[in-house]
Amino acid sequence: MKFVDDSQNLRLRLRIVQVLALILLGILAVRLYMLQIVNGARYAEIAQNQRIRLLPIPAPRGVILDRDLHLLVDSRPIYTILLSREDTKGIDRYSLIKPLSEGLGIDPEILRDRFDQVKSQPAFESILIKEGAAQADIAWVDAHQLELPALRVEQTPQRRYPPNGTLAHVLGYVGEISPEQLKQPEFQKKGYKPGDVIGQEGLEAVYDEYLRGRDGFRKVIVDSRGHIQSEVERVEPQSGQDIVTTIDSDLQQAAEDQLRKSPKGRGVIIAMDPNNGEIFALASAPTFDPNIFSQRITTKAGRAEYQSLLNDPDKPLIDRAIQGKYPPGSTWKPLMATAGLQQGAISIDSSNLVCGGGITIGNKFTRCMGGNHGSPDVHFAIMKSCDGYFYRLGLKMKLEGIQAMVDMFDLNKRTGIDLPHEVISTTPSREFKAKNYPNDPEWKDIDTVYSSFGQGEDVLTPIALLRAHSAIGMGGRMYVPHLLKEVRAIAAVGSDPSRADYRQARPVRTFDRPQPKVLPIPKDQNELVVHAMWSVVNVAGTATGIKMAGFDIAGKTGTAQVVGLGKEGAEHKDHSWFVSYAPAFKPEISCVAMIENAGLGSRFGAPSVRAIYDVYYAKTRGAKEPAGSNVAMRIR
């Protein structure tokens, strides 16, 4: 100290200032040590996470083709608006619902659902805001980059289905995975996340794992506003596998036209190759537009469309071919005849039973709808659809005999068609009666009588009935009906199989159950039944109106009573059946038509089937239908 200062120890005070300064700097150094050395790795990770984004590159879904390789379903690129989850982490996303729903015209409820869903999901995923964004929507996003920097527009594929509801029940549709599905283990196992589009119905659902590709991704660096600065890594997506179906579009079109023209516009037509179970056509009417689900469900209008489908009393969403159950009526009879012969209730040489115009059980007389046929043989009984004959055949076979028949034709099982939600037909049994008729639980002879001509507790799905009749046509070989012809192969993506992002090649695949069930039907007995069914159309039966020169149709009409006998009225008209295969003695195609509330099988069911055969004939024989055709239902 150069100057004199005796006040309050200045030297010490200077020292205090110096020490204080060093202590404070020391505290900063300790804090630095904590941040950089102790927790450095953690902060580095946080810094990394806030600048790295994984943006999925959606994989194109496989297309669906018909058997002639015509395109049925494809995907086209659309614009999708996404909200970055990471960039909206700290803010209340629900506060965005109002501006987003107003600006982009989205139902606020849908946004709320989506925001709810992502709460339980891991980070680094975008939230789907709007699919199929129009130019105006994209412009809106651009104009609001400052307020809503977390919004992003991307190109994604959107599923496009054929117009007019064609093949709707077969193809099904894709849709966003639902919150309920996300909770189910089978979906969790596949690693789905909210906003994922998956097959929800039909072939789209059954073969989803083949159709869906594997998304690629881009690892990008973003700035604090979420703008992409550069791409660190890119993994290309692997497209889904294309699927070739067994559908013949010409036959399908013919079937749908027939149903559209039917009296109530409701019914089913299925055409199948009885030699292997490949389905040529499967039409259920009324139908619906699957594009509602793949394109419009997130709009108010789309939701209204969906709601009206749900509320429609005609239930267009139901696939009547596999979910509808109807009394088979007289189409039941060839099955009964086959089993009766096989079980020995009747024989080829001695098959005559009394018709008597009906039968009296207890004090109740049940008449034969065709009048009194005397005492016909089985050929005549099938050809003329004699109820009285089959009442007595049923009584001879007893319930157990009928049940053995049901078992043989798999009528008490699902056919195994590769479509979801197939239901099991109802077939006669003591348990069923006891359960459903508590006031009259005992199985009685009258129940056996009803069960022997396709009423009572016989309630079948059209697909089960067609399969059984196809087996008769095929001499007992019964195939699983199916729609998959081939899943096409797809090449591997990536060069290094050891890498986690390597996508293996996926091989060709065909339907997994091609083997038939072989029914123990003696050949001579089978020929008798086939001959009788041929006679139905070609000799003097109930369907001679559809006789076709040069193409032997074998078939059986059926008229299923909707309500109790004797009641009439437009709403309660009988369902009109026709089940058949052709050519009769070497079948190439089998076909069933069930026209709801139309009337006699011969008047509606049979001509519809004939229309299918006309198209088939023209396609395979390369000629117009032979002269003398009395059905004028050409499709094109």
Partner 1 sequence: MVAVLQRHKLRDFDWLLAILAIGIVSFGAWEIHNAQPTEPFWQKQLIGLAVAFVAMLAIAFTDYRRLVEIAPVLYGLGLVLLIVVLIPHVGMKINGQRCWIKLPGAGQFQPSEFVKIPVVLMLAKYFGKHRTGTLTWKEFLIGCVILGLPVGLILLEPDLGQAITYLPLLAIVLFLSSVRMWIVGAVLVGLMAGAPLAYTVGVKTGLLHGYKLERINVILDPENADKRGFGYHTWQSMVTVGEGGVAGARNSEYSQSSLKFLPEPHTDFIFAVTAETTGFVGCLLLLASYALLLTRLITDARRSRDRTGMLVIMAIVGGLIFQIILNVGMALGMLPVIGVPLPLMSAGLSSVLATFIAIGFAISVQLRRFVN
Coil, strand, or helix at residue 211?
helix
Token pair 């039917």: residue: 262
Helix H or strand E segment including 82? strand 71-84
Determine if 498 is a binding residue for partner 1 (CB under 8 A). no
Instruction: Write the CB contacts of 411 (distance below 8 Å, at least 6 apart in sequence).
Output: 335, 405, 425, 427, 460, 464, 468
Q: Which is nearer to partner 1, 17 or 632 (CB)?
A: 17
What are the C-alpha distances in Å from 20 to residues 33, 228, 344?
Answer: 20, 47, 114
Nearer of residues 228 and 301 to partner 1, judged by Cβ = 228
Stretch that binds partner 1, among 221-229, 240-248, 417-425, 529-537 (CB under 8 A): 221-229
| 293: DSSP letter | I
Contact with partner 1 (CB under 8 A) among 122, 185, 224, 564:
224
- Name residues contacting partner 1, limited to 17-46 (CB under 8 A): 17-18, 20-22, 24-25, 28-29, 31-33, 35-37, 39-44, 46
Quote the tokens at residue 149: 């920097």
| Strands 364-367, 484-487: pairing kind | unpaired
Cβ of residue 92: shortest distance to partner 1, in angstroms? Answer: 11
* Least separation in angstroms between CB 134 and partner 1: 31
Burial class (CB within 10 angstroms; exposed 0-12, middle 13-18, buried 19+) of 123: exposed
Report the residue from 190, 219, 225, 586 that binds partner 1 according to the rule CB under 8 A: 225
Give the nearer residue to partner 1 in terms of CB position, either 30 or 623: 30
Site for partner 1 in 42-101 (CB under 8 A): 42-44, 46-47, 50-51, 89-91
Rounded distance, CA 226 to CA 326, Å? 59
Question: What pairs with residue 228 in β-bridges?
Answer: 222
Which CB sits closer to partner 1, 223 or 407? 223
Asked whether the beta carbons of 128 and 176 are under 8 A apart, the reply is yes
With contacts defined by CB under 8 A, name the span among 5-13, 117-125, 331-339, 453-461 that binds partner 1. Answer: 5-13
Q: Which of 64, 129, 222, 393 binds partner 1 (CB under 8 A)?
A: 222
Cα separations (Å) of 522 from 204, 240, 341, 531, 582? Answer: 41, 46, 9, 14, 21
Please report the beta strands in 290-376, taking only residues with DSSP state E, as ranges in sequence order: 358-361, 364-367
Q: How far is the CB of 316 from partner 1 (least distance, A)?
A: 48
Amino acid sitting at position 588 = E
* Beta-carbon count within 10 A of 284 CB: 31
| x/- letters, 373..392, toward partner 1 (CB under 8 A) | --------------------
Q: How far is the CB of 188 from partner 1 (least distance, A)?
A: 30
Cα–Cα nearest to 415, from 338, 339, 517:
517
Q: How far is CA 612 from the centre of its chain?
A: 23
Asked if 8 interacts with partner 1 (CB under 8 A), we say yes
Residue 85 has phi, psi (to 5 degrees) of -70, -45
Question: Of 3-11, 100-108, 247-255, 456-464, which part binds partner 1 (CB under 8 A)?
Answer: 3-11
If one asks whether residue 163 binds partner 1 (CB under 8 A), the answer comes out as: no
Minimal distance in Å, beta carbon 40 to partner 1? Answer: 4
By beta-carbon proximity to partner 1, the closer residue of 41 and 565 is 41
The residues of the shown chain that bind partner 1, judged by CB under 8 A, are 1-8, 10-11, 13-14, 17-18, 20-22, 24-25, 28-29, 31-33, 35-37, 39-44, 46-47, 50-51, 89-91, 221-225, 229-230
